[in-house]
């Protein structure tokens, strides 16, 4: 499958695994606070990359040869009735946030919506992550639900918002 090109956006490769992990660790609430019970490691990211498919890819965005952001499109739910709904995640280096990087990745997904064959995108966002909530609202997402205290470990409990958009 060939995707419409977007400046700097390409399919992620195995060689990208270390930088994808680094960006994730700088952005994820539980990774930042060091409070995650089971850390995500390089092998997990390699598994994400090896599990990616044409319909459920992982994209990176490069500037001047450096990966500064990534996004994934994953199956929303394992039943055929939900095949055209996808979970989407965006991770942008903190020093690149607020510069339209996430919007460029989102535009890439939107430009390739027919190839990716989705009618709905769903995102799970920590309730305390107001920047991420704002980003998704600017992309036309609405809050579809709240999962109370679903993200937790010994020290922290966090609500997760379910945000979605129908195309």
What digits encode the pLDDT tens for the residues 65-83?
999 999 999 999 989 999 9
| Amino acid 143: pLDDT | 98
C-beta of residue 91 within 8 angstroms of C-beta of residue 24: yes
Rounded to an integer, the average pLDDT of 128-142 is: 96
Q: Exposed, middle or buried: residue 145 (CB in 10 Å: 0-12, 13-18, 19+)?
A: exposed
In a domain, residue 13? The reply is yes
pTM of the model as a whole: 0.89
In a domain, residue 27? The reply is yes
In a domain, residue 143? The reply is no
32 against 129, higher pLDDT? 129
In a domain, residue 33? The reply is yes
In a domain, residue 58? The reply is yes
Which strands form 120-126's sheet, in the order they lie side by side? 9-11, 58-63, 66-75, 85-92, 120-126, 157-166, 142-152
| Amino acid 155: pLDDT | 78
In a domain, residue 165? The reply is no
| Amino acid 5: pLDDT | 77
| Amino acid 27: pLDDT | 87
Q: Place 37 in a pLDDT band, splitting at 50, 70 and 90.
A: very low
Which tens digit of pLDDT belongs to each residue from 88-132? 999 999 999 999 999 999 999 999 999 999 999 999 999 999 999
In a domain, residue 83? The reply is yes
| Amino acid 36: pLDDT | 46
| Amino acid 30: pLDDT | 62
The domain tally of the chain equals 1
By residue range, what is the domain housing residue 28? Answer: 9-122
- Which CATH number characterizes residue 34's domain? 3.40.630.30
| Amino acid 17: pLDDT | 97
- Over the chain, what is the mean pLDDT? 91
């Amino acid at each position: 499958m060939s995707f419409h090109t977007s400046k700097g956006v390409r399919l992620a490769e195995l060689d990208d695994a270390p930088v994808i992990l680094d960006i994730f660790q700088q952005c994820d609430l539980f990774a930042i606070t060091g409070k995650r019970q089971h850390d995500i490691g390089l092998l997990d990211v390699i598994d994400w990359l090896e599990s990616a498919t044409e319909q459920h890819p992982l994209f990176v965005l490069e500037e001047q040869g450096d990966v500064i952001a990534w996004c994934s499109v994953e199956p929303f739910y394992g039943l055929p009735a939900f095949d055209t709904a996808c979970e989407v995640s965006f991770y942008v280096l903190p020093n690149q946030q607020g510069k339209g990087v996430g919007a460029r990745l989102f535009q890439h997904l939107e430009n390739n919506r027919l190839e990716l064959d989705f009618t709905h995108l769903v995102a799970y966002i920590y309730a305390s992550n107001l920047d991420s909530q704002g980003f998704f609202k600017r992309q036309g997402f609405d809050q579809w639900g709240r999962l109370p205290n679903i993200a937790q470990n010994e020290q922290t409990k966090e609500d997760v918002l379910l945000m979605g958009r129908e195309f």
